[in-house]
Amino acid sequence: MKKRIISGVLAGLVTAATLSACGATKVEPATAATSAPGAEAASASTAAATSAAEAATEVNENAQATTEAAAANNAAASGDDVTLDEALNNEVRVKPDSAKWTINLAGNNGSLCNVPTFLAFELGFFADEGIDATLTSADFQTKSAGLDDGSFPIINDDYMFFKSVENGIGASIVDGIHKGCIKVQVLPDSDLAKPEDFAGKNIRIACDEIGGTTYQATALWLEQAGIKAFGSDAEVTFVPYNDDNLSIAALEKGEVQAVADWDPVAAIAEKEGRVKTILDIAKDDPFKDHYCCYLYASDKVLDEDPALIAAILRAYHRAEDWTAKHPEDATEIITQKNYVQIDDKELAVSLISEYGYPLMADRESGNTIDLHEDVSFFVTELTKIGILEGDADAFSNRLVSDVDINL
């Protein structure tokens, strides 16, 4: 990796530049001596001019060095000093020299939603925080148990987890990661184009699982248009498939009339012309201005070691920033390192760009989605249609925990 300029060096350069600038004076051109009695004075004037010019040069050099140091320091903070070649050639330190924490992260699931997790590891952002991280695969039940007992300090997941927390899993949302990665799709010649077209037709919709995220997103979309999608009087029927490719196949066989599926399978099927998309939660109401995925922290770890959660969040913020700035390079890393199986890299770049990963500059200026308002929106809407129960405001307040990332 390129050597990162530490803050102490930067501070020294700033001090040097400031002191030199304070002593600088305007220099007028020296006039040659024309008489012997004035020769000594002319010589002194020339020496003073030379000294002043040298001081001015030093000011400029120090100022330039300060600017370069600041730029390098900012690049290091965001991860911009890590190059694609360094990442692909394993030149980045993914394990800290002396680990402050050793953790497992349920992040090796082959999803584009987990790009920041992959990159925080591969680009050494976890290591920079003193975290020795191991990425593992885990199903829903394993992640739930891991959050509850603290063996997973953080997971990346969506509003499907709201119900688990409502049912007693000890976890809190501490950040949002990106916007949508779910689509509702139909055959290219289907008459279904909007929620109202589902009314009274007993449409069968393929989903990941009953109560799962694609189920919840589709139900919310339909219910907001007045189409009952949940409960004994539902106007549609959800059919679970454990693989999105099976959902697409079921649609083509006529076993279902619509599918609610995830990228990249959904995006690939659309690009191939096998389906048309009638809801893209990254672009369409009511989802387009909301997070799809969140970071859930273990309440146990939050209570016992909040500094670990803060360190993980700092690493994630850098990874999200790097992903947003370098979607092409991010795609190269996750495909060449076999984190995600997608042959169409152009499509992957497009999807990653659409997900709206937050920039560090936007976080610092407050120009990001308000986490409390975002969670409150989904809790309120999911409570209205009966997926969640109880007091929506109270649960929203309980669900989100604010973390000081400077711990």
Q: What is the pLDDT at residue 182?
A: 95
User: How far apart are alpha carbons 29 and 50 in whole angstroms?
Assistant: 10
User: How far apart are alpha carbons 164 and 169 in whole angstroms?
Assistant: 6
Strand partners, 236: 203
Q: Say yes or no: domain 90-181+290-399 is CATH 3.40.190.10.
A: yes
The tokens 């929506």 sit on which residue? Answer: 392
Instruction: Identify which of 113, 107, 104 has the alpha carbon closest to the alpha carbon of residue 293.
Output: 113
User: How far apart are alpha carbons 84 and 89 in whole angstroms?
Assistant: 8
390 burial type by CB count under 10 A (0-12 exposed, 13-18 middle, 19+ buried): exposed
Strand partners, 205: 238, 258
Q: What is the pLDDT at residue 51?
A: 55
Per-residue buried b or exposed e for 220-250, using 16+ beta carbons within 10 Å of the residue's own CB: bbbbeeebbbbeeeeebebeebeebeebbbb
Q: What contacts 39, CB < 8 A, 6 or more positions away?
A: 33
Name the DSSP letter for residue 187: -
> Strand order of the sheet with strand 171-178?
154-158, 293-298, 171-178
User: How far apart are alpha carbons 319 and 122 in whole angstroms?
Assistant: 10
Q: What is the pLDDT at residue 315?
A: 98
> Strand order of the sheet with strand 236-240?
236-240, 203-207, 258-262, 182-186, 276-280
Q: What is the pLDDT at residue 286?
A: 93
Q: What is the pLDDT at residue 93?
A: 76
Contact 243, 207 (CB under 8 A): no
Q: What is the pLDDT at residue 122?
A: 94
Do the two domains 90-181+290-399 and 182-280 of this chain adopt the same fold?
yes
Q: Say yes or no: domain 182-280 is CATH 3.40.190.10.
A: yes
Please report the DSSP string for 105-122 in residue order: E---S--GGGHHHHHHHH
Residuewise pLDDT in 10s, the chain (407 residues): 433 333 333 333 333 333 333 333 333 333 333 344 444 444 445 554 455 555 545 545 544 444 344 334 444 445 566 788 787 777 777 888 889 999 999 977 777 889 999 999 999 999 999 999 999 999 999 999 999 999 999 999 998 999 999 999 999 999 999 998 999 999 999 999 999 999 999 999 999 999 999 999 999 999 999 999 988 899 999 999 989 999 999 999 999 999 999 998 999 999 999 999 999 999 999 999 999 999 999 999 999 999 999 999 999 999 999 999 999 999 999 999 999 888 899 999 999 999 999 999 999 998 899 999 999 999 999 999 999 999 999 999 999 999 999 99
Q: What is the pLDDT at residue 7?
A: 36
Contact 118, 107 (CB under 8 A): yes
- The C-alpha angle 173, 359, 10, rounded to 5 degrees, equals 115
CB atoms within 10 A of CB 133: 25
Q: What contacts 72, CB < 8 A, 6 or more positions away?
A: 4, 5, 81
Q: Which phi and psi angles does 158 have, rounded to 5°?
A: -120, -160
Strand partners, 321: none
Instruction: Identify which of 111, 3, 80 has the alpha carbon closest to the alpha carbon of residue 322.
Output: 80
179 burial type by CB count under 10 A (0-12 exposed, 13-18 middle, 19+ buried): buried
Q: Where are the domains of the chain?
A: 7-78, 90-181+290-399, 182-280
